[in-house]
Amino acid sequence: MSDTVETATAAPGTPPEKTPAPAGALERLRRPRTYLWLVGSVLLLAFPFYLDRFWLQAGLFAMAAAIGAIGINLLTGATGQLSMGHAFFLAVGAYSYCVLAGESSTENGHALTGLGLPTWLAAILAVLLAGVAGGVFSPIAGRLRGAYLGIATLALIFIGQHVLFNAGSLTGGFNGRPVPPLSVFGFTFDDTEVLVAAVPFQSSEKLWYVALLALLLSGLFARGVLRGRPGRALNAIRDHRIAAGVMGVPVARYRAGVFVLSSMYAGLAGVLLALVFQRTVPEYFGMILSLEYLAMIVIGGLGSVAGAVVGAAFVSLMPQVLTHYSDSLPLVSAPGTGGLAPGEASRYLYGAAVVAVVLFLPGGLTRLKKPGEKK
Amino acid sequence: MRTAPATTAPTTAPAALAVRDVTVRFAGLTALDAVSFTVEPGSVHAVIGPNGAGKSTCFNVLSGVYRATSGTVHLGDTELTGRAPHRIAALGVARTFQNLALPPHATVAESMLLGRHRLTRSGFVSTGLWLPSAAREARRHLQRVREIAEFIGLEKELDHPAGALPYGKQKLVELGRALCMEPQVLLLDEPVAGMTADERRRVAAVVAGVRDSLGISIVLVEHDMGVVMRLADAVTVLDFGRRIAGGTPAEVQNDPAVVRAYLGAQE
Ligand SMILES: Nc1ncnc2c1ncn2[C@@H]1O[C@H](COP(=O)(O)OP(=O)(O)O)[C@@H](O)[C@H]1O
Ligand SMILES: [Mg+2]
């Protein structure tokens, strides 16, 4: 019985079995990390009251990307299975949500199919559908290792793009389709203004908390998996596949399993991105997006939740920062004025960041401080 | 020294490991040529021979890493040949690798916990949801890992990254990880190579202790003849993939074919 009590009180960040003597509350109060977390949490909760819409959008973006990055870090970082198909599963999540939650309608002469399910249910089903799509591909994902899987998943991108552009009644074709706003217990996360402490809340402000909660839960789930039995098995497959099998790890089953899990993370990220964008367009879910997710985990740090989050923040906030400060930055100018557009500039920048990290910081940004330590 | 094994009497009756006419060919090279031998339950069986004789290949067949071109391996009534490595592990066959196969970043404790994989159940859902059952399981098995680490003299290194330890200690971690599987059959590929005299004695004592108190069968590939002669109940000698002699250590030591193979292979 005492077990249960202990687990309930132990903070998730401090795995009880790794610290020789379980850290008490006092001990934790003395650690600077506790305060960093505290300040960070307060800031994250307060942002919607202070930041303008531009930065809220950027933050929402980063949070959704972080969830997707955690997913691909489970697969590529922790298991060593390369995937180029992450964007495909993001698309499955985003479009499934639209089809399941949207009403049948006609837009620009296109008939759009929609099931009109409650939006919260559609969001859950969309994540599950992304998992199912991963499951369909998992016999291949279980058999192929490392770079070979990367090549095979390229097929998903091509198939995905073809379907998105051509299955017009589901996807809306080139123009995409509108995203029905999320609604939970009668509360709708749309642009109708709600006053909270004299601050008008529109969709960005409201969605902020949805995204924050989703990110928190996804991060905790992944961390639990990584530091537990499945995580050890996945790392063993990455580090020494043959030894993993000999130790009793069913290698193909775990590869398939983590592929499905990673797809579901992508699906959730896709749903959130759709809600933030308020419109899904096929172009977005291309090869570049897959590469961006790989860049995130390389920059942030392979194989850990923190690495995925830091990398996602870096890669998705960079274009926004450059856009915002394009006036005061040399070479970078507003889009369409002839100079280097912020999007392009940021791509060069994180291209350079990837190379720099691979060369000088093999553990990624999150290993910056303590090179000797493990994740 | 003798404290660790207590909780783990093998649940199934000890079974003999029977290797029958096993042949392994790699593109023209015959690494094993119709090799047969039987490892009696609860004995230490040494497989010796010059470099390239096929000893590691034999281990790879026993553990399912390589497929035999022909021939069979049985553990009791169960056929091992044709099974995937994790299925063979599930039957209680554990091994160490001649060249280390440890994760580069994980601690000794985590490395050894991997050995508990087949004895534990927590999956993606229970660990992801931080269920108390998963935490309980982890704690229970970590306790057992500590006992085993103490048994082999690694208790102080449990929280160190395994990859940063000296070579001899890393070999000990591999042995510990294999013991963590609570095996019926333990395959040790050159377990004392690269170790200090102290560590060698430790491994020899562990091997003898494991056999005597647990009744585990041990197959031992080793070049250190002192260790082989002291520990082995039976010896099989391979040369160029063929079994050229077998018997008790004393019999084998005086076998002219063995003397010839070893003298011929002296560098
Ligand atoms: N995967 C493999 N592919 C090709 N040849 C191999 C392979 N594994 C082992 N061999 C060959 O089989 C022979 C026996 O090797 P091995 O079993 O490692 O010898 P030992 O462990 O007795 O020193 C050697 O000639 C080796 O080169
Ligand atoms: Mg060898």
A366 with A301: CB under 8 angstroms? yes
Q: If you measure CA to CA, which chain B residue comes closest to A363?
A: B105
Mean pLDDT of B167-195: 93
Q: Is residue A185 predicted with pLDDT exceeding 50?
A: yes
Query: Could you tell me what percent of chain A has a pLDDT over 70?
Result: 87
Residue in this structure with the two tokens 């050890």, named with its chain if needed: A232
With contacts defined as CB-CB under 8 Å, which chain B residues touch A370? none
A307, A250, A353, A253: which is closest to A77 by C-alpha?
A307
- Tens of pLDDT along B3-46? 444 444 445 567 899 999 999 999 889 999 999 999 999 999 99
Q: Cα(A92)–Cα(A135) distance, rounded to whole angstroms? A: 13
What count of Cα atoms within 13 Å lies in the side-chain half-sphere of residue A326?
A: 21
- Can you list the domains of chain B with their CATH numbers? 16-92+183-267 (3.40.50.300), 104-181 (no CATH)
**What's the rounded Cα separation, in Å, for the pair A50 and A133?**
40
Who contacts B39 (Cβ-Cβ below 8 Å, separation ≥6)? B16, B17, B18, B19, B45, B185, B217, B219, B234
Of A83, A77, A113, A78, which is closest to residue A98 (Cα–Cα)? A113
Question: What band does A176 get if pLDDT is binned at 50, 70 and 90?
Answer: confident
DSSP A340: B
* Coarse DSSP helix, strand, coil percentages of chain B, rounded to the nearest 5 percent: 45, 25, 35
Residue (of B195, B140, B147) closest to B2 by Cα position: B147
Q: What pLDDT does A296 receive?
A: 93
CA distance B200 to B3: 20
Average pLDDT over residues A114-123: 91
Determine the Cα–Cα distance for residues A17 and B265; give it in Å rounded to an integer: 50
Identify all chain A residues contacting B115, using CB atoms and an 8 Å cutoff. 247
Residue spans of the domains in chain A: they are 46-285
B56-73 average pLDDT score = 96
Q: Which of residues 236-275 of A touch B (CB under 8 A)?
A: 236, 239-240, 242-251, 257, 261
Residue B95 has its nearest CB partner, among A220, A235, A246, at A246
Residue B262's pLDDT is 74
CA A103 vs CA A40, A123, A302: distances in Å: 39, 15, 41
Q: Is A326 helix (H, G, I), strand (E, B) or coil?
A: coil
Chain mean pLDDT for chain B: 89
User: Which among A143, A134, A138, A24 is positioned nearest to A86, based on CA atoms?
Assistant: A134
Q: Does A24 touch chain B (CB under 8 A)?
A: no
Q: Which residues on chain B are in Cβ contact (under 8 Å) with A246?
A: 63-65, 85-86, 88-89, 94-95
**Rounded to the nearest 10 degrees, what angle do helices A32-50 and A53-72 cross at?**
130
Residue B214: the pLDDT is: 83
Q: For atom 9 of ligand 1, which residue has the closest CA?
A: B57
Of A224, A235, A243, the CB nearest to B101: A243
Interface of A with B in 1-20 (CB under 8 A): 3-4, 7-8, 12, 16-18, 20
pLDDT tens for residues A23-49? Answer: 567 777 778 888 888 888 888 888 887
Interface pTM (ipTM) of the complex? 0.91
Between A143-147, A200-204, B202-206, the lowest mean confidence (pLDDT) is in: A200-204
Residue A40 Cα to chain centre, angstroms: 19
Among A4, A220, A246, A367, most B C-beta atoms within 10 A, so best to mutate, is A246
pLDDT at position B108 is 95
CA distance A100 to A115: 5
Give me the amino acid identity at B204.
A
What's this model's pTM, rounded to 2 decimal places? Answer: 0.89
- Tens of pLDDT, residues A199-213: 777 778 888 999 999
| Pocket-testing residue among B24, B57, B237, ligand 1, by greatest number of atoms within 8 A of Cβ | B57
Q: What is the mean pLDDT of residues B122-126?
A: 95
Ligand 1 and B56: CB distance under 6 A:
yes
| Ligand 1 atom at minimal distance to the Cα of residue B98 | 21
Which of B32, B56, B96 most suits a substitution to test ligand 1, by most atoms within 8 Å of the C-beta?
B56
Give me the pLDDT at residue A334, please.
63
Res. A320 pLDDT band, cuts 50 70 90: confident
Give contacts of B 66-85 with A, CB under 8 A: 84-85
The whole-angstrom distance between B239's CA and the closest CA on chain A is: 26
Decide if pLDDT at A285 tops 90: yes
> Does residue B64 belong to the interface with chain A, where contact is any CB pair within 8 Å?
yes
Q: How far is CA A28 from the centre of its chain?
A: 29
